[in-house]
Structure 1
Amino acid sequence: MLSFILSSNSAAKNWQTVLDNGQNHSVYFHAWGGDPQINAYIQWLEQQVKQQYNIDLHHIKLTDTSEAVSRVLAEKSAGNHSEGKVDLIWINGANFAAMAKHGLLTPNWATKLPNFSLTNPAKNPAMSLDFGVPTQGMESPWGQAALTFYYDSVAITSPPKTLTQLLTWSTQHKGRFTYPKPPDFIGVSFLKYALISLTPASLQAKLYQPVTKQNSALLLPKLWQFLDTLHPNLWRAGQHFVSSSTALRRLMGDTELSLAMTFSAPEVPAAVTRFDLPTSIRSYAMSDGSLSNIHFVAIPYNAAHTDSAKLVANFMLSVNAQAKKQRPTTWGDNTVLDLSILAADQVTQFQLSNPHPSSLAPNHNSPALAEPHPSWVKVIEQQWLERYGAQ
């Protein structure tokens, strides 16, 4: 008991040091800036941390997270080990694996945030795993997302619920579906969903290990065989692919497509509300599984304001910030907090009434498909571009 008290006192003292050192500074938060709802939520974060800590949070909008990775790597190569221009970065998957490999992230800080305990990590080990890779305290969880499909209920009465059904449906509705070209995140996510679905259960463990030439030669041919059959049925006969999920949504809005997908389920009702999508749009999850992951924030090893970034990350994990983020009218990103350990009045902040007709049903019962090991992404992208990139 005494050791527990001493440990608690030490943690409180250490956090007080973070509070003392972290206030009254700027934090440059490098995060994807392609969604107006997410950008608006980050603006709200800016107001909150300014009010609580007098921190000036600056959202550096990225087209791709790799831009921030390259910047930190360039700073390290130039010998800038303490005055980096990236204080906090929104990250997961291959970008996290790359930064961790090159020693570009601050270690052992995330689990020491006071609000990290609200994720109940002992019962939710995924909070410390990024695409199956242990985070080792280098990342703080921020939200959860899953690949969600949406369709025009005027054009489709019964959407395809499995990958096999999607192939059959595409032959009957030629030109009414497509996916973004890799390396777009949504496009790669669709390919990973397809790969998992096409891989026999007895071999799926290989997808969660670092990719090898032997395993890629064993598992990827099924994916290419599937795509060879699917592509002629796609929009523009698979001879041209859109570059982003935004462009995909635009085609749905113009009714050129009847079926599309997103990794941000709340994006769909928000787009309907903005009249970017028809009111007939409905969301659903595939019955053979939904590719799911947790996204995180990390602090580069050379951040100029490490303690300030920790204060921001801790606020991101607060009940208030997580509940607001989960509301469909805000962002709709699922919380990483374990509601079972929260007080009753805190849980009520996450409860919704009168969901939008285009929203994804919360009880869709789609199995969560874990992300493959991040090393598979580069191989999938390279081989896809070799096979289909010139089209």
Structure 2
Amino acid sequence: MNLKRLALLLTIVMALFLITGCSGEKGTTDIPINNDENITSEEFDPNTDFDKILEEAKGSTVNFYGWGGDEDRNRWLNQTVAPVLKEKYDITLEVVGMDIDNILAKLAGEKQAGLKEGTIDMIWINGENFYSAKENDLLFGSFAEQLPNFEKYIDGDDVEVKYDFGFPIEGYEAPYGKAQMVFINDSAITEETPRNAEEFMEYAKKYEGRITYPALPDFTGSAFVRTLIYDIVGHEQFLDMEANKEVVKEAIEPALEYLRELNKYLWNQGKTFPATSGEVDNMFEDGELVMTMSYGSYSAAVGIEKGIYNDTVQTFLFDKGTVGNTNYIAIANNSPNKAAAMVAINEIISAEIQATQFKELRSLPVVSYDKLTDEEKARFDNIDIGKGALPQDELLSKRLPEMPANIVPIIEQLWLEEVVGK
């Protein structure tokens, strides 16, 4: 178990302990305890005619919880999405920034307390966090396929619509945006763009001490390591691999050996690694590194627009592709505003809002291009993706599926044991 998962477990356990302990003392809490009722059996039915759901949602306030560290996304939600929801449906959107670990702990605490109606409606989530929330009955049931815009715009046969990091979604969340690992360098400093792991090793040797990546389990660092693993040993075997440390270790041993060799040519010789992707970006901006990496497919264009990067900064990928995934929106099981949450999510996956997300945030859209009208296609086609970025079709043509979420922490643990400082 990696440190992040351990911290999450301890947080949830502590939340449950505190609430359980307080519930036995008179006057210590005003949270209603209702252990005789099953909080998962709600009166709201997602299969209700959507016109009735629209009517029920009017005048509601819906609370959207998710990571709040992206100021551009916060601005988009508050200044673009919220006004549309208010004007079209009389729904007030409240955006609450909170780390997913704390969100899950809050949901677990409310469940333990028997709180039939909580404070969280919509949740920005994916991967192992989705699996954990779904398995622990913290999420509302299957709703996504009942949304009109899901049927209208989403490809239901897409593997990333059916599975989240290898786990069946079963309608418990709707797609929100897509991410994909990209590499970034400055063509004025290094013309080379390595196309595979072998070329990347030579690149590291040439620019010894001026390349590194974030320490795992940083999200970007972990995706970078998985991309290298895919390039060295392939990706197909991981899709149904047993989540067993020895099995995984045997499968990725050639990649572990590669990473140990790569250490010799990295910043600080791989003895230590920057803690976050933000630190790697800062080192690249300061000229200490010759490249950086991002899970934001258009990070180079955004950086150039903001004046953070030079105009000569460029994006590149490996020929075999890079890891990509989808992030989603789920509804809390004890959400007091499920109708409003469904209406809000339905609007977010519309062609109109997805186009604004693509334009303002450079987030790969989740709508299927083939399902768009000619007018809607033109709206996307006319968006200027900016300098230094790769077009959407090239990104998607080199997009590799994520590993099952229960394999990822094993790889992160093996990296810590077998690569760092070796």
Decide: shared fold, TM above 0.5: yes
Contact map agreement 1:253 1:278 (CA 8 A) in 2: no
Deviations 1:363-383 (A, max 9, x none): 436532100110012212223
Q: Secondary structure at the match of 1:380?
A: helix
> 2-side partners of 1:84 and 1:13: how far apart?
22
In structure 2, the residue corresponding to 1:385 is in which secondary structure? helix
Q: Which moved more, 1:331-340 or 1:51-60?
A: 51-60
Q: Bigger CA drift: 85-94 or 239-248? A: 239-248
Counterpart amino acid of residue 267 in structure 2: W
Whole-Å Cα distance in 1 between the matches of residues 147 and 383 of structure 2?
Answer: 32
- Give the gaps of 5 or more residues in structure 2: 1-44
Alpha-carbon distance between aligned partners in 1 of 2:366 and 2:172, rounded to the nearest angstrom:
16
Alignment of 1:168-317 (within 5 A): 168-200=202-234, 204-317=236-349
Q: Which residue identity does 1:155 align to in structure 2?
A: I
The aligned counterpart of 2:103 is: 68
| Mapping 1:141-180, distance limit 5 Å | 141-180=175-214
C-alpha spacing 1:280/1:17, structure 2 compared with 1 (3 Å): same
Q: Decide whether aligned partners of structure 1 residues 237 and 332 sit closer, same or farther in structure 2, where only a CA change above 3 A counts.
A: same
1:7 matched residue in structure 2: none
How much does 1:110 deviate?
0.7
Q: Distance in 2 between matches of 1:210 and 1:66?
A: 26
Instruction: Specify every segment of 5 or more residues in structure 1 that has no aligned partner in the other structure, as ranges.
Output: 1-9
Is 1:121–1:128's contact at 8 Å kept on the other side of the alignment?
no
Structure 2 contact 46–143 (Cα < 8 Å) conserved: no
**Counterpart secondary structure, 2:105:** helix
Q: Is the 8 A contact 1:131 1:371 kept in 2?
A: yes
Distance 1:65 1:164, change over 3 A: farther
Give me the whole-angstrom Cα distance separating, in 2, the residues matched to 1:37 and 1:200: 35
In 1, distance between residues paired with 2:274 and 2:91? 39
Cα distance in 2 for partners of 1:19, 1:251 equals: 49
Deviations 1:162-213 (A, max 9, x none): 1221112101111222111122110111121122222256xx3244444123
| Counterpart selection for 1:26 from 42, 61, 78 | 61
Task: Please give the root-mean-square deviation of Cα atoms over the aligned residues, in Å.
Answer: 2.3
Q: 2:76: which partner in 1? A: 41
Of 360, 371, 382, the residue aligned with 1:341 is 371
Alpha-carbon distance between aligned partners in 2 of 1:379 and 1:130, rounded to the nearest angstrom: 18
Q: Report if aligned partners of 1:285, 1:364 keep a CA contact under 8 Å in 2.
A: no
Q: CA deviation at 1:111?
A: 0.6
Change (3 A) 1:11 1:355: closer
**Residue of 364, 381, 385 corresponding to 2:412:** 381
Hey, what does 1:3 align to over in structure 2? none
2:361 aligns to what?
Answer: 331
What is the Cα deviation at residue 125 of structure 1? 4.3
Partner Cα distance (1:74, 1:220) in 2: 38
* Equivalent position of 1:370 in the other structure: 401
2:385 aligned with 1:350:
no
Matched, 1:84 2:118: yes
- Of 117, 128, 132, the match for 1:94: 128
CA deviation digits over 1:142-169, x for unaligned, max 9? 1222111110111111221112211121
Structure 1 counterpart of 2:321, which letter? G
TM-score (norm 1): 0.89
**1:108–1:137 CA contact under 8 A, matched in 2:** yes
For residues 11 and 181 of structure 1, the distance between their equivalents in structure 2, rounded to whole angstroms, comes to 42
What secondary structure sits across from 1:303 in the alignment? coil
CA distance in 2, matches of 1:367, 1:136: 26
Question: Match of 2:97, SS?
Answer: strand
Q: Using the alignment, how far apart are the partners of 1:193 and 1:200 within structure 2? A: 9
- Mapped contact 2:270–2:421 kept (Cα < 8 A): no
Q: Number of aligned residue pairs: give it.
A: 376
Cα distance in 2 between the residues matched to 1:76 and 1:101: 13
**How high is the sequence identity, in percent, across the aligned residues?**
25
